[in-house]
């Protein structure tokens, strides 16, 4: 039930994530999590995974991991996401990892977003690290 969810464009090396379209990621309408998922989809982020953190960590309620095709796209997605979150009234957003944009952390409070170039994402493999206890038995 709490398994990470991804879109259908998932890379072959991601066996631990359950493949599903971005539109199938469960969100509460009007929530910050829903806004983040929508904006990532609108900005053509790839391999979007949402990991519920409730009961696992106090840092956030959700961790969202996504990829961009290049450092330019990763940086643009991060900046656009930060603008939209602030504009929607969810408060200021902290960005880490710009201008290099190989890995950008977007801290939106209750939702933490990691945006990667695909090569960097597969190296760190955060999905595997944070999906503990979610394997099907």
For every one of its 137 residues, what pLDDT tens digit does the chain have, with 9 covering 90 and above?
A: 344 444 434 333 333 343 346 767 888 888 999 999 999 999 999 999 999 988 888 889 999 999 999 999 999 999 999 999 999 999 899 999 998 999 999 999 999 999 999 999 999 999 888 765 554 44
As a residue count, the chain comes to: 137
Q: In sequence order, what are the residues at sequence separation of 6 or more whose Cβ sits closer than 8 angstroms to the Cβ of residue 107?
A: 93, 94, 95, 96
Q: Mean of the per-residue pLDDT values for the chain?
A: 83
Instruction: Please state the domain extents for the chain.
Output: 5-130
User: What architecture does CATH give domain 5-130?
Assistant: 2-Layer Sandwich (3.30)
Q: Which of 61, 67, 1 is nearest to 34 (CA)?
A: 61
What is the pLDDT, as a whole number, of residue 132? 55
Cα angle for residues 50, 7, 111 (degrees, 5° grid):
20
Q: At what angle do helices 32-42 and 71-87 cross, to 10 degrees?
A: 140
Model pLDDT for residues 52-73, shown as the tens digit of each residue: 988 888 889 999 999 999 999 9
Residue 64 corresponds to which tokens in the numbers above? 């969202």
pLDDT (0 to 100) of residue 21: 61
């Amino acid at each position: 039930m709490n398994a990470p969810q991804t879109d259908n464009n998932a890379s072959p090396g991601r066996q631990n994530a359950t493949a599903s379209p971005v539109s199938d990621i469960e969100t509460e309408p009007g929530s910050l999590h829903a806004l983040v998922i929508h904006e990532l989809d609108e900005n053509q982020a790839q391999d979007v995974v949402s990991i519920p953190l409730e009961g696992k960590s106090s840092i956030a309620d959700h961790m969202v991991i996504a990829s961009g095709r290049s450092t330019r796209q990763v940086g643009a997605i991060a900046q656009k996401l930060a603008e939209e979150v602030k504009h929607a009234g969810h408060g200021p957003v902290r960005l880490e990892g710009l201008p290099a944009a190989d890995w950008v952390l977007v801290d939106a409070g209750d939702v933490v977003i990691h945006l990667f170039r695909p090569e960097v994402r597969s190296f760190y493999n955060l999905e595997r690290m944070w999906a503990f206890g979610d394997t099907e038995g």
